[in-house]
Structure 1
Amino acid sequence: MIQCDSDDFMSQYMPFVPAERVVDESVRLLQNKDLLNERGDDWRWVDGDERKRFQFLVRVSDALRELKLPGRTASCQLVQSPDNYMDSQKPGADFKINAGYALISSSSSQVSAELTSDDTAVTVEYALNLADQKQNWNQLLSGVLYIMNGDPRRMQMFSLSIEHNMMTVWFFSRSHPCMSASFDMRKNNRRCIQVFIAFMFASREELGYDETVQLISTDREWHYGYKVGDRFYRSTRSVFQHHDTRIIGRGTRVWEVVRVKHFDDPTPLDDRSYALKDVWFDEGARTEREIQEALFRDLDLVAQRIDDSDPDIIHVLNGFDEETRAVLRTCVVKRELYSKYFLTINHDWTGPTSKPRAAHAVAVPGVFGVQPSPPVASVPGSDSTRTDPTPMVERAFVPRYQYRVVFDEVGEALHYVDNISVVLSAVQDCLFALQLLFLAGWVHRDISTGNLLWWNGRGLLADLEYAKKFEPSTGGSADPKTGTAFFMAVEIQKQMLIYEPPQPAFISFAEDMANLTAKKKPDPRPLTSVVVHNYEHDLESMFWVLLWIYMARLPHPPVMSELEQYAHSKYEDRTHGMLVDGAESTQAPDSVGPSETQQTGIPLHVLQVIGGIFQNHSGCSDLRYNVIARAGVYSEHISPIFKTDHELVARVFQILVRALRAGYETRKFDIENAATYSPLYATFRQAIQALQAHYEEHRDTYRPLLVYKARETIPPIGRAKPARSAVP
């Protein structure tokens, strides 16, 4: 959180700044209404409980609505709602707010009788006592989090908090939050009046509503309508929404949509479905189309380099087996061949940029007190744990711009696919896509179950937001922890290399002193301490994807009691339960304990090991790190999980662990050595083939994969209840 004085806040963040003559007119109006004293320097405040006292502010708002401002009309009005849970077209609105500025209906010129989160433009929280400030602020944040993360129409949002006589104005956007310095609204009633007018007479767009996203009613059900450039789309289903305990970030949403003529005519133009992605990028960051086009240009260049017998690219190709070399050579020749491994961009649009940070704003840590610790583990994982860049220093809070892209394919994320054979086929295709990136000199940096898709009988590698050229010589990454926490490579998580150079053996004190004094052996470690995301990190992420699917989604038959007892004793202090809601869930996590073992089909000891490896934050547990970095840890903790029928599966993953460890240790610090990566792709391809063959041979031992929140059961936003007869 950052803070600036109220003057800077008014000029930088508020919808507009009412002129002094407007404030003078307002003072006279409020005096005539007996709401200000004759001198105009204090309110005629009504004492009593919270409701009575702050009902006075509602009367002030009602009076100010009579103002006549050139070019502006009242768009919202303050209403109280202290006893009612917020209603919404989106399910899960289970919070209260004390009051809010509710949108005024253009048809009735009135606010809705029932305050909902959909038409609450500004939330207001108040408390009688200054001592309740922290609680009041946290209640405010809770409401803003729900509304901003639940309503795609919100580009930014304002709030007010009042404790006794002290008022604070708040601004929230995907770029940054800012709070004004608190001021005494009785001593500085002119500033209070300015704030009221700035909210009440702001346009909906100034209040943060996106005019290119609207609620659309069809068959008495709500959907969202999107305008992307000159085209209109209507949502039919929510594919992905990124819910977090933060507002700052990309705010990614993905919808299955149909194209329509206009918001007023939501009838589909044809029977095609598309995937629409709505996201906020850092100012200066490339769009997904620009990234994909740059990648494809480099792939086209690969074909030319092969024709020219470029020794560097030939050296890379020679690292693959003969069959893979032949397929890659054929594929890179034509764009229509290699592009089928990626999503097809149909249409995109770049929108407005968020407000920049106030020049004199300063960081104010701990505004909302100690934040709760993240949950330890989550079964679905997928993109619910996407990590945004969060340096451990004061953030610069660069502005973000809005971006939308429409894809031709509506793929099925692997965490929704319940057939292990289909999952393996998709992963095999996506592995080939990673080989294409490798040839072009690119790294993906966000391999996850949400970015590996199954569509029309083939796998697609999606989400190139974080993809970039692998250029370690240009320096370390400014965003070292990109990716999804569940599937992030351990070097990225720990920001330290797995390889450790051997240390000389101790001989004697005298000889060691002589060697150290002479500095015979310089430290071979690189000068930079930043771990640069390399090609093996993408492959390691794919390993974690496969291991998670086999451990957390493949139902396990009961195992012998000795192992169960061992697991209880080994992990009882580390078990914290697991979340079972999918990435789209907005509910509080449900814990999975011993009583739920039968429901999930995952034994307790397996749940405990999963909880020790897959965690909902970008830190790296000792168990996860040691599975890759230390010989024997995989055999001790993971191999026993797989029953006799699946022993081959355990061996396949053990080989992948050995291959990954060998890659890191063989490469040492020479991360630009392309020849050290090539063999890994063949190992992964062979491993996937072995898993597929095992499935074909032992079909009767495989049950459908657990899908903790199937796509078909995720209600489209706005389908929670019948539509109201009128939209404000």
Structure 2
Amino acid sequence: MIPEVSLEDYFTHILLPLPESLVGKLDLIVQILKDSGVITAKGRWKSFPADPKNQKKETVVFKKLSNIFDAVIAVGKNLDGELEQTFELFVEPNTVPDHPHGGKSRPDGFVKQKARRDGEVEQKEEPPHAWFDIAHPQEFKLNESPSGVDDDASKVVYSMQQILALDPRRRFTTGSTIENRTTRLWFLSRSILFTTESFDFMTDHKRLVHLYLSLAFSCSADSGWDPSVKFSHVDPLTHKRIYEITVNTKQGDEVVTEIYTTVSILSEVSADAMGRATRVWLVVDSNGKYHVLKDLWLDRDRALEHEIRADILRDVCQTQDKATEEKLRSHMLTPIAHCKVRIEGVEDDTTAVMMRGYDLLGARMIPFRTPPVPAGPSTQSRGLALPSDPDSISQSINSRPPPNSPQQTISPPNRVVIDRSSTKANVPKVHARYHYQIVFKEYATTIYDERNLGHIFRSMEGVIWGEYTLVILHNAGWVHRDLSAGNVYWYTEGSRGLLGDFEYAKLRANDIAHEIRTGTPYFMAAETLSHAYLFQPRPVQPQLLDSH
């Protein structure tokens, strides 16, 4: 099931804001376009004297959308000479945007950044188009056939998923599809995917003008980029993209700002388009010291990892003693910086900020059909929908391989097919998430990656065996709930084992359930992963009772 929202709600709450100088002037802009002949006396765009369905070449027909886009932007600039165009439209269906893993997918069109901004350095010999610069992918069909509509939906969703999965700077993305004249708009964030009611781009001039002006003059944050993560350069040796990540840690009444430069990606096994999108980086601070930075999207009802760690140490000190607390502390990763990421001073949120408080209450649900396919490899600490939400899009996005598996391109998702035979009025549930970053002092090796057997056993001795981490944790009434080979570390500098990833830890007495169930599929109960009891006891047969 996928939500379908009204055009009014989308243009009010989701679409990027118009430049302030153009607010209230859409009717004027449409009239100027009519007076200049861009819109003909017959009420259609001059670039489209005939409907696309009456044309032969899709690649030629929809390229004319660029003419309309340019004309609309020109009127906007004439009304406000100080407006800066930040995005431009390209309709080049035969062009393959540059992909870091060699992907060959080709959107029919896209709106992309017009130039490097926000202090980003222009790279030599860069390709003309790259997925990292695309803000709004598009798909077109000459005819409005069911198969064509379904194909466009699958392709635009794949493109949007790819944008969020590839780029650590991206918070959300939008897209659009056109079949003949019928146009739909799309939205994808770390929490939700939805589309809009359709409109006729040929005659609903005001809608198309509004869309193009919003896309062309938006700032990067409004277009889904994260200002706290900036692209720096491409490493000449590894050919990997290097980022500068700003973490603002609140210490009392003060905020301490530190910029960390990425060195390499340690884990992005669960960096899918939707869900937590967890990435773990090896970073270097301004003093040249190496640390580990974890960037993820947490469910709104989840506590922050550094707060959970502090609560555990407090309880250990209260229920045991200070020496035991220090012993536990020596076997835990040490956070040195952390924050909820803010956008223009407001804590980023997939609903309150990205959707400007819109809760989809006015949406209806469109049934989707996806053919059964074998499940992909599980991902670590992946958010799983509750049984009451079996159609969660988070489960349809293909998983990535486990750590250290061969590099792979992102596989296309299951084919999405819109079933128009029925619709439901049930209200979709949006699982809101916020953006969280935490930096750890220690750069340690997981025992999954460690190749020295002695180090592995010493790590397990310090964390699992004896009177150390887990025993102390349990004696204080806490359980870790995500113990795996990826969360136990060997710390060479300290010659000891460390336990990390306390984001799921909780008090045994705490029976509060969360909307999204999480865990590491390789290590979690099969029933939790499948959302069903697999081994229920058989009912006792009456005849067996009689025989006794």
**TM-score scaled to structure 2, two decimals?**
0.77
Partner of 1:96: 106
Partner of 2:317: 300
Shift of 1:429: 2.4
For 1:429 and 1:374, the matched residues in 2 are separated by: 39
335 and 389 in structure 1: CA distance in 2 versus 1, 3 angstrom threshold: same
Query: What secondary structure, in the 3-state scheme, does the structure 2 residue paired with 1:86 have?
Result: coil
Bigger strand share: 2
Within the candidate set 406, 421, 434, 2:470 is matched to 434
Partner of 2:514: 478
Matched, 1:414 2:414: no
Matched, 1:133 2:134: no
For 1:123 and 1:290, the matched residues in 2 are separated by: 39
The one-letter code sitting in structure 1 at the alignment partner of 2:524 is: M
Shift of 1:76: 0.4
Query: What secondary structure, in the 3-state scheme, does the structure 2 residue paired with 1:172 have?
Result: strand
Matched, 1:286 2:324: no
Partner of 1:389: 384
C-alpha contact 1:480 1:492 (8 A) present in aligned 2? no
172 and 453 in structure 1: CA distance in 2 versus 1, 3 angstrom threshold: same
Matched, 1:169 2:185: yes
Any idea what the Cα deviations from partners look like across 1:475-511, whole Å, max 9, x if unmatched? 6x335842111111345446549796996996775x9
List alignment gaps of at least 5 residues for structure 1. 261-268, 305-331, 513-728
Partner of 2:251: none
Within the candidate set 249, 274, 277, 2:275 is matched to 249
Any idea what the Cα deviations from partners look like across 1:592-638, whole Å, max 9, x if unmatched? xxxxxxxxxxxxxxxxxxxxxxxxxxxxxxxxxxxxxxxxxxxxxxx
Root-mean-square deviation (CA, aligned residues, Å) is 3.1
Worse overlay, 12-21 or 184-193: 12-21
C-alpha contact 1:86 1:116 (8 A) present in aligned 2? yes
Partner of 1:460: 498
For 1:466 and 1:4, the matched residues in 2 are separated by: 34
50 and 218 in structure 1: CA distance in 2 versus 1, 3 angstrom threshold: closer
Partner of 1:563: none
For 1:149 and 1:257, the matched residues in 2 are separated by: 20
C-alpha contact 1:43 1:186 (8 A) present in aligned 2? no
Partner of 2:92: 81
C-alpha contact 2:63 2:92 (8 A) present in aligned 1? no
Report the identity percentage: 23
For 1:60 and 1:507, the matched residues in 2 are separated by: 79
For 1:507 and 1:399, the matched residues in 2 are separated by: 52
Any idea what the Cα deviations from partners look like across 1:268-307, whole Å, max 9, x if unmatched? x22x211011111122421111111111111112215xxx
The one-letter code sitting in structure 2 at the alignment partner of 1:237 is: S
Any idea what the Cα deviations from partners look like across 1:352-390, whole Å, max 9, x if unmatched? 2223443434353544x30553436x5xx6xx3433130
Within the candidate set 259, 276, 280, 2:293 is matched to 276
For 1:116 and 1:204, the matched residues in 2 are separated by: 16
The one-letter code sitting in structure 1 at the alignment partner of 2:474 is: F
For 1:290 and 1:202, the matched residues in 2 are separated by: 36
Query: What secondary structure, in the 3-state scheme, does the structure 2 residue paired with 1:64 have?
Result: helix
Within the candidate set 7, 24, 40, 1:37 is matched to 40
C-alpha contact 1:171 1:178 (8 A) present in aligned 2? yes
Partner of 2:394: none
C-alpha contact 2:5 2:364 (8 A) present in aligned 1? no
Within the candidate set 263, 272, 282, 1:236 is matched to 263
C-alpha contact 1:87 1:117 (8 A) present in aligned 2? yes
Query: What secondary structure, in the 3-state scheme, does the structure 1 residue paired with 2:112 have?
Result: strand
List alignment gaps of at least 5 residues for structure 2. 249-256, 342-347, 353-357, 390-427
Partner of 2:14: 13
Any idea what the Cα deviations from partners look like across 1:164-220, whole Å, max 9, x if unmatched? 111111111112122111111123221111111111111111000111111112664
Query: What secondary structure, in the 3-state scheme, does the structure 1 residue paired with 2:261 have?
Result: strand
45 and 498 in structure 1: CA distance in 2 versus 1, 3 angstrom threshold: closer
For 1:141 and 1:95, the matched residues in 2 are separated by: 12
For 1:204 and 1:98, the matched residues in 2 are separated by: 23
For 1:435 and 1:498, the matched residues in 2 are separated by: 30
Matched, 1:52 2:60: yes
For 2:373 and 2:443, the matched residues in 1 are separated by: 35
For 1:256 and 1:507, the matched residues in 2 are separated by: 63
Matched, 1:124 2:134: no
Query: What secondary structure, in the 3-state scheme, does the structure 1 residue paired with 2:26 have?
Result: helix
Any idea what the Cα deviations from partners look like across 1:302-321, whole Å, max 9, x if unmatched? 215xxxxxxxxxxxxxxxxx
The one-letter code sitting in structure 1 at the alignment partner of 2:439 is: V
Shift of 1:17: 4.9
For 2:542 and 2:314, the matched residues in 1 are separated by: 51
- TM alignment of 1:175-324, pairs within 5 A: 175-217=191-233, 220=236, 222-229=241-248, 230-243=257-270, 247-260=273-286, 269-270=287-288, 272-303=289-320
Shift of 1:29: 4.1
- TM alignment of 1:608-623, pairs within 5 A: none
Matched, 1:469 2:499: no
For 2:112 and 2:501, the matched residues in 1 are separated by: 37
For 2:129 and 2:206, the matched residues in 1 are separated by: 28
Shift of 1:118: 1.3
Within the candidate set 346, 349, 353, 1:353 is matched to 349
Partner of 2:400: none
The one-letter code sitting in structure 2 at the alignment partner of 1:280 is: W
Shift of 1:449: 2.2
Matched, 1:373 2:369: no
For 1:74 and 1:505, the matched residues in 2 are separated by: 78
For 1:469 and 1:94, the matched residues in 2 are separated by: 48
Shift of 1:452: 1.8
The one-letter code sitting in structure 2 at the alignment partner of 1:26 is: I
The one-letter code sitting in structure 2 at the alignment partner of 1:258 is: V
The one-letter code sitting in structure 1 at the alignment partner of 2:290 is: S
Partner of 1:672: none
C-alpha contact 2:169 2:230 (8 A) present in aligned 1? yes
Any idea what the Cα deviations from partners look like across 1:530-552, whole Å, max 9, x if unmatched? xxxxxxxxxxxxxxxxxxxxxxx
C-alpha contact 2:110 2:136 (8 A) present in aligned 1? yes
